[in-house]
């Protein structure tokens, strides 16, 4: 079994690098830590970056997860290959581009490109946030798959993921540490990134950002609201090229795995997605671009 330690980053292709970076900095509030002619790296916590933009076609390039060391990486490569997946090992230049020491890439059974990395570069200095959104960390990522039940079987068979809760057959919320979910799979027509989440310091930060986004004409996709599964107060908003961002506060922690019972929420129930009963239309997803280590 492959043991995930943490989430690492999202790599997103963009046809308009200036607009994508401007939104991530001026609206989301991330720190721009590095910029080249065709690359931009953005930071929210002690990771060198949680989001990188690559000039080219628009769409998510990869979602990355952290493993402990190179031995665990080699074991993951073997297990995934035995499972019938094509696994590519990144070369030194590609690893340097991602600010990791080593990585492998694979497509999950639904076409999502996932990178497993070791030794992601850490930055000890405080984050120089571009806007006071109250961000404390890169919180979680959510992928799309046409068959969420099949995705659940893949992720829990090969990785140390445990199901926290279900939302019908349309979403599976999973954890690898006490946080209610760090990786989730939502039902979508094809592979893609449903959204990337940033935790904020207080409910006041969520509400201040809501007013900021509304005042600046940013499309609010859901919220403010409260999820009954994680207990988190949430706010989803749409960025350029279909990249959905989320702020949330107060996510549940599951400290006792043995005592936790997986729950099934019927999305037809009024409070199943938002306890405050706001609109719950599905958020935009950024489609997955194909190609394991290109760009």
Which segments of the chain does DSSP mark as H helices, in order?
17-22, 70-82, 92-98, 148-158, 203-215
Give the SS3 label for residue 116: strand
Q: Which residue has tokens 């991530």?
A: 24
pTM score of the predicted model:
0.96
pLDDT tens by residue, 235-293: 999 999 999 999 999 999 999 999 999 999 999 999 999 999 999 988 999 999 987 66
Q: Which residue has tokens 């489609």?
A: 287
What does the pLDDT average to over 115-140? Answer: 97
- Taking all residues of the chain, what is their mean pLDDT, rounded to a whole number? 97
Residue 281: predicted pLDDT:
87
pLDDT tens by residue, 148-178: 999 999 999 999 999 999 999 999 999 999 9
pLDDT tens by residue, 192-246: 999 999 999 999 999 999 999 999 999 999 999 999 999 999 999 999 999 999 9
């Amino acid at each position: 079994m492959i043991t995930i330690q943490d989430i690492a980053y999202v790599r997103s292709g963009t046809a308009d690098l200036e607009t994508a970076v401007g939104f991530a900095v001026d609206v989301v509030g991330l720190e721009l830590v590095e910029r080249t002619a065709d690359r931009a790296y953005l930071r929210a916590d002690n990771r060198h970056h949680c989001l990188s933009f690559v000039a080219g076609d628009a769409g998510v390039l990869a979602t990355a997860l952290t493993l402990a060391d190179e031995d665990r990486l080699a074991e993951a490569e073997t297990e995934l290959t035995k499972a019938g997946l094509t696994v590519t090992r990144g070369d030194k230049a590609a690893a340097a581009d991602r600010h990791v020491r080593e990585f492998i890439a694979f497509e999950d059974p639904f076409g999502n490109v996932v990178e497993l990395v070791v030794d992601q570069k850490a930055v000890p200095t405080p984050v120089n946030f571009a806007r006071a959104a109250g961000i404390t960390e890169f919180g979680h990522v959510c992928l799309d798959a046409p068959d969420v039940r099949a995705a659940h079987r893949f992720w829990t068979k090969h990785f140390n993921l445990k199901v926290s809760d279900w939302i019908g057959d349309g979403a599976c919320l999973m954890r690898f540490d006490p946080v209610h979910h760090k990786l989730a799979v939502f039902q979508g027509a094809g592979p893609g990134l449903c959204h990337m989440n940033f935790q904020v310091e207080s409910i006041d930060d969520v509400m201040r950002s809501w007013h900021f986004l509304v005042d600046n004409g940013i499309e609010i996709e859901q919220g403010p609201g409260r999820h009954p599964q994680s207990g988190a107060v949430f706010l989803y908003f749409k960025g350029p090229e279909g990249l959905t961002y989320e702020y949330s506060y107060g996510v549940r922690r599951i400290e006792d795995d043995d005592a936790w019972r997986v729950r099934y929420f019927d999305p037809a129930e009024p409070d199943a997605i938002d306890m405050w009963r706001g609109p719950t239309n599905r958020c935009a997803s950024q489609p997955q671009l194909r190609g394991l280590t290109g760009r």
